[in-house]
């Protein structure tokens, strides 16, 4: 719908739309199929069966596994976009991740070298994998790491997002998001302790990885722009609840030029670009704006982020997205509490435009019913002029 696109663009440009927009970011397998009224296959039963898991242990490292994993990602990502449309959101954060490889029925890794533990929710559905470490320990490891699959990602995403845009582009504003950011892929492949040491003592090694992912990300932007995608979320967690993961000056020294190149590329291609970082990002807000981003997400209330303060600090430079809690408000709060949380968020950040209502993250305990309430509350309290 043209109105949804105009609404999102106006907010990203810090103008008043007809109504405060909403953005979905539901990634959990079980929730997507609950929204679509489909019955997911509880893979936990398969992985938990001792005979099936033994067979999976033998088959997982084989050449057919990436093919089947990517086909499942095709279906799941397509369905998660359909689910956002079904819920009535104005925009959707969409990540297409054909990056997973399996060691066995319990452990997996991605094509960038990060290792994960396979996890399931209480009903046996696949959950978000748990990061456990990295496989790149030295410059030689990085030099010899097979990068062919990484280099194929732009074309895979161009094809997939072309279909997604064709089928859903007139129904919802699609934000493309890569699986992780430059910072996340760099430290994640090494492990954080190894990264911190390497950033000081082996700077050229770390900068080589940063340059690779900067180039790759720019190619991804070109690819999804060709597919007609109007927006990008650069997802790269750079903060804990206590503040930035490393000194902001070090972040700028390592990543500043890369982030400015990404935002310039996105804007040159006609796309809006938003930065996502969990945690307390007060000390990074001005830097995000200086790097050229159009907006910032997640603004976690559980990390001490107050929308009114963020609005005061950078509301004239960045659109604010998120701040709706996923630990209580969208999990087990009453309808009245959800409506009040949305009302307060809009009151704190919606003045003169520049705010998009959204959860701070995706979580397996988030309630589909409460996501519907979020959308309803935005309709009630988000009409301009705000009352």
DSSP 19-67: B--BEE----HHHHHHHTT-----HHHHHHSHHHHHHHHHHTTSTHHHH
User: Do residues 12 and 377 touch, judged by C-beta distance below 8 A?
Assistant: no
User: Does residue 115 belong to any structural domain of this protein?
Assistant: no
User: Does residue 346 belong to any structural domain of this protein?
Assistant: yes
User: Does residue 140 belong to any structural domain of this protein?
Assistant: no
Q: pLDDT tens, 177-196?
A: 998 999 999 999 999 999 99
User: Does residue 118 belong to any structural domain of this protein?
Assistant: no
pLDDT level of residue 164 (50, 70, 90 thresholds): very high
Average of pLDDT values for 218-239? 98
User: Does residue 123 belong to any structural domain of this protein?
Assistant: no
Task: Compute the mean pLDDT over every residue in the chain, rounded to the nearest whole number.
Answer: 94
The β-bridge relationship of strands 231-235 and 272-277 is: parallel
Q: In this predicted structure, what is the pLDDT of residue 122?
A: 72
Average of pLDDT values for 232-259? 98
Q: Let me know if 39 is exposed, middle or buried by CB neighbors in 10 A (0-12, 13-18, 19+).
A: exposed
> Residue 34 pLDDT more than 90?
yes
**CATH number, domain with residue 376:** 3.20.20.210
Q: How long, in residues, is the chain?
A: 387
pLDDT level of residue 126 (50, 70, 90 thresholds): confident
User: Does residue 250 belong to any structural domain of this protein?
Assistant: yes
Query: Domain range for residue 90?
Result: 2-23+64-101+145-381
Average of pLDDT values for 308-322? 98
Q: In the numeric block, which tokens belong to residue 127? A: 């959950």
User: Does residue 166 belong to any structural domain of this protein?
Assistant: yes
Residues 6+ apart with CB under 8 A from 300: 241, 278, 279, 280, 322, 323, 325, 360, 361
Number of domains in the chain: 1
pLDDT level of residue 254 (50, 70, 90 thresholds): very high
Please tell me the least confidently modeled range out of 35-44, 244-253, 298-307, 377-386.
35-44
> Residue 382 pLDDT more than 90?
yes
Report the chain's C-alpha Rg in angstroms.
Answer: 20
Strand partners, 91: 23, 173
b/e per residue 267-304 (b: at least 16 CB within 10 A): eebebbbbbbbbbbbbebbebbbebbbbbbbbbbbebe
Count CB atoms within 10 A of the CB of residue 222. Answer: 16
Q: In this predicted structure, what is the pLDDT of residue 41?
A: 67
> Residue 329 pLDDT more than 90?
yes
> Residue 64 pLDDT more than 70?
no
Q: In this predicted structure, what is the pLDDT of residue 46?
A: 67
pLDDT level of residue 4 (50, 70, 90 thresholds): very high
Give the torsion sign (CA, 107, 113, 114, 120). negative
> Residue 1 pLDDT more than 80?
no
Give the whole-angstrom CA distance, residue 182 versus residue 268. 20
- CA 168 to mean position of chain CA atoms: 19
pLDDT level of residue 44 (50, 70, 90 thresholds): low
């Amino acid at each position: 719908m043209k109105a949804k696109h105009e609404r999102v663009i106006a907010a990203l440009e810090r103008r008043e739309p007809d109504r405060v927009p909403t953005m979905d970011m539901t990634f959990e397998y079980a929730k997507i199929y609950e929204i679509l009224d489909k019955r997911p296959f509880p893979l936990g039963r398969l992985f938990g069966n001792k005979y099936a898991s033994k067979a999976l242990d033998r088959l997982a490292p084989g050449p057919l596994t990436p093919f089947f994993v990517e086909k499942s990602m095709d279906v799941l990502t397509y369905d998660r976009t359909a689910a956002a449309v079904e819920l009535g959101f104005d925009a959707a954060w969409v990540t297409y991740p054909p990056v997973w490889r399996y060691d066995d029925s319990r452990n997996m890794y991605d094509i960038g070298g990060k290792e994960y533990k396979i996890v399931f929710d209480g009903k046996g559905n696949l959950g978000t994998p748990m990061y456990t470490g990295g496989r790149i320990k030295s410059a030689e490891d990085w030099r010899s790491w097979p990068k062919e699959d990484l280099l194929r990602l732009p074309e895979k995403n161009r094809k997939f997002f072309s279909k997604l845009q064709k089928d859903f582009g007139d129904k919802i504003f699609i934000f493309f998001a890569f699986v992780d950011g430059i910072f996340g892929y760099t430290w994640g492949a090494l492990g954080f302790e190894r990264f911190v040491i390497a950033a000081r003592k082996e700077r050229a090694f770390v900068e080589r990885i940063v340059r690779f992912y900067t180039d790759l990300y720019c190619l991804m932007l070109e690819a999804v722009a060709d597919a007609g995608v109007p927006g990008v979320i650069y997802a790269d967690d750079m903060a804990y609840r206590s503040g930035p993961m490393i000194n902001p000056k070090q972040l700028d020294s390592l990543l500043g030029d890369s982030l400015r190149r990404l935002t310039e590329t996105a804007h040159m291609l006609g796309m809006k670009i938003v930065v996502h970082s969990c945690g307390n990002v007060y000390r990074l807000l001005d830097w995000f704006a200086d790097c050229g981003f159009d907006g910032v997400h997640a603004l976690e209330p559980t990390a001490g982020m107050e929308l009114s303060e963020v609005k005061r600090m950078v509301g004239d430079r960045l659109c604010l997205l998120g701040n709706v809690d996923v630990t209580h408000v969208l999990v087990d709060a009453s309808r009245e509490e959800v409506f009040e949380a949305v009302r307060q968020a809009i009151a704190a950040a919606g003045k003169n435009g520049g705010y998009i209502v959204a959860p701070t993250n995706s979580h397996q305990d988030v309630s589909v019913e409460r996501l519907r309430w979020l959308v309803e509350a935005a309709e009630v309290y988000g009409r301009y002029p705000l009352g």
